[in-house]
Structures are given as C-alpha cells and as structure tokens.
Amino acid sequence: MMYERSESEYFAAKRKAARQLGVEYRFRPGDLPSNKEIREQIGALAAVYEGPARNDTIRDMRLAALRMMRLMEPFRPRLIGSVLTGHVRQGSDIDLHLFTDHISAITTILDEQNLRYQRETKRIIKRNEERYFTHLHVSDLYNFEFTVYGTDKINYPFKSSITGRLIERASIAELEQLLQREHPGVDLDADVERLDDHADRFELYRMLLEPLAEVKQHPTYHPEGDALYHSLQVFQLATYHAGYDEEFVLAALLHDVGKAIDPADHVTAGLQALEGAITERTEFLIAHHMDAHEIRAGTLGHRAKQRLQASPDFDDLMMLEQLDIAGRKRGVQVCSVGEATAFIRQLSDGS
C-alpha cells in the first residue's frame, strides 16, 4: 500500500493491513512491523519492480534536489527523506527543510520561476502541545515538499518518526559530496544544467496541456468531453502501441494543444507555441494529423496525399490518426498531465 502510495502514513497503513488480515483488535503494538522495517521492505519492492534503472532515478532526483536547493539557497535548505537515504519509490516526493521568518520570500522566488505550488498548514498535537507546520507542495521535474521553519530552528535536532533518531539531512555542499561519492562520473554543473533544459521543456508542455481541460468539444465528433481528456486518451493508446518512441508518444500527447490558443486553426497555433521544444518528426506528425483524417475520408487532394506518402513517417502519421479516432471514449481512466510528462521524461533520459 505504501509503495503504491494508496497510503502515505505508517500508522494508517499498519492499521489497514491488520484489518485486512482480520486481526485489527487482537494485536499488541509490538506485533506490528516498525516504521524502519516497512521502509526497508518498500526499498526491496522498489528494487524488484524498478530494476537497475532505480539507481538512475535516485541520481536524477538528487540532482533535481540540488538544482532546487541552489535556487532556495537564501533559506538554508536541507535535504531529508527518501531521496537522501536512497529509499525512493515510485512517486516519491523530494523533501526539503527551509528556514525563513517570511514565507512570502520563498513564494516570490517560486512565482518568478513560474513554479506551481500549494500551501498547506498542518496542526499537530504532541504531548498535549499544539503546533502548526507550513508546507509548500511544489511541482517541478519532480514533486517537492518544502517544510518551512522559522530561522530559530536552523540548528534544531529534528527526530525521525521512522527511526526515532535524529533526521539525516544534507546541506548543498553535503549533497554535492554525496552525489560525487555515490554516482561516479556525475558532472554536477552540467547535469544540473541538463535538468534546467528539461524543466523548461516539460514546463512548457504542462502549461499548454492544462488549459485543454476547459476546451469543450463538439459532442458529435468528441463524445468523450474536453480536449485534455481526449489528449490523455490518445497519449495512453500511443504508449501501448509504441511506448519506446518518444517522438511519436509526444506527438500523441500534444497534437491538440493549439485548441486552447486558437480553435479556428489549432494546428498552426500549437506548432507556434511548441517551436524549439519538439523535434522535426514530432512537428511533422502534429502538423499533418488533420490531413491524415482527410486521407482516411478520401477528401485530401492527390498531390498533397502523394507528398505525405513520400515521407518516411507516413505510416506513423496514419497510426496517430487511428489513435486520434480511438481516443474518444467516455469513462476511460486516464493518467494525469504530470504522469504523462514524467513518462516522456523517462524516455528522454533513456531510463
């Protein structure tokens, strides 16, 4: 349950597991596994399910953490949690402690970087003492959770709810040392710059995709509903057909992004918005996906059809057309925009 993230709290997961085994009211606390034992088993599951690519994931998440920590340097950032210890699992957040007496100083930087975030205040009662904690949930290449403390807590000895010991944490310099020690051959500055390039590209994809949720389509041709739901259906079908082909899968995901910009000419609008962020092949597939519908209907001119047929990507274009038609069903469960872009990011990284 915790590996698949259907439960995120150790205590709740233990109670639920005990209830499923029919022993909810017949156990002592000592009968349950410790948080540390659960964490170790989560790591074992991750190793089995994610294989050798898991080490690459840990490296990239640590590099993403370094990139964010450099951005948040004025707030004395400390990396904690699974990314630091190496116990990451699918969907793990990157957890940072930040120290400031003015949260607006952090959100100003996030706004300047066009990073999405949500603020959350948690009320905790421990030993009859009521305390409030502020969290910022930030969406970037990976999901981040910032826990924000006042500057008087910079040297506070935080303890782990998992081990009961002092929380392992790393400053920027300590994380750089960890990366160089555990990931030989890493070039910190070059690899962080590579992530910057990825962030720009995938942030653009997100910004273009999300408005599609408000684009209502003609029910005769698109009974499934809004343009985002359609795009995610087509994307998922593309991953089943050619999940190894980044350019094709990306074309499937982005083929209709122009509908939120200029519904009268969504192809041109989409290509202009994506200029410099997609390859020539992806551009070709998006540029001609409406022509492919005309080929299927027999309404495209002979010369235009011949020009398209001469392209080495013609068969893929017609496959995209089939998926575009197939991705118009009601009630289909689809992934989120974040999950879709994360899938393509993994293809891009070769993992």
pLDDT in tens, 177-213: 999 998 988 899 988 887 776 667 888 898 899 999 9
Which pLDDT score is estimated for 30? 72
Which pLDDT score is estimated for 13? 80
Q: How much is the mean pLDDT over the chain? A: 86
Residues whose CB is less than 8 angstroms from the CB of residue 37 and which lie 6 or more positions away in sequence, other chains included = none
The domain defined by 33-186 folds into: Beta Polymerase; domain 2 (3.30.460)
Entry pTM: 0.56
CATH number of 196-349: 1.10.3210.10
Residue pair 228/212 in contact by the 8 Å Cβ criterion: yes
Query: What length does the chain have?
Result: 351
Residue 75, pLDDT above cutoff 70: yes
List the one residue out of 206, 161, 197 whose CA is nearest residue 339: 206
> How far are the Cα atoms of 87, 204, 349 from residue 93, in angstroms, in the given order?
11, 21, 19
Which pLDDT score is estimated for 265? 94
Residue 351, pLDDT above cutoff 60: no
Residue pair 87/213 in contact by the 8 Å Cβ criterion: no
Q: In DSSP terms, which residues pair with 138 in a beta bridge?
A: 117, 144
Tokens at 314, concatenated: 């013609």
Residue pair 253/209 in contact by the 8 Å Cβ criterion: yes
List the one residue out of 319, 311, 330 whose CA is nearest residue 238: 319
Question: pLDDT tens across 240-255, in order?
Answer: 999 899 999 999 999 9
Q: Where are the domains of the chain?
A: 33-186, 196-349
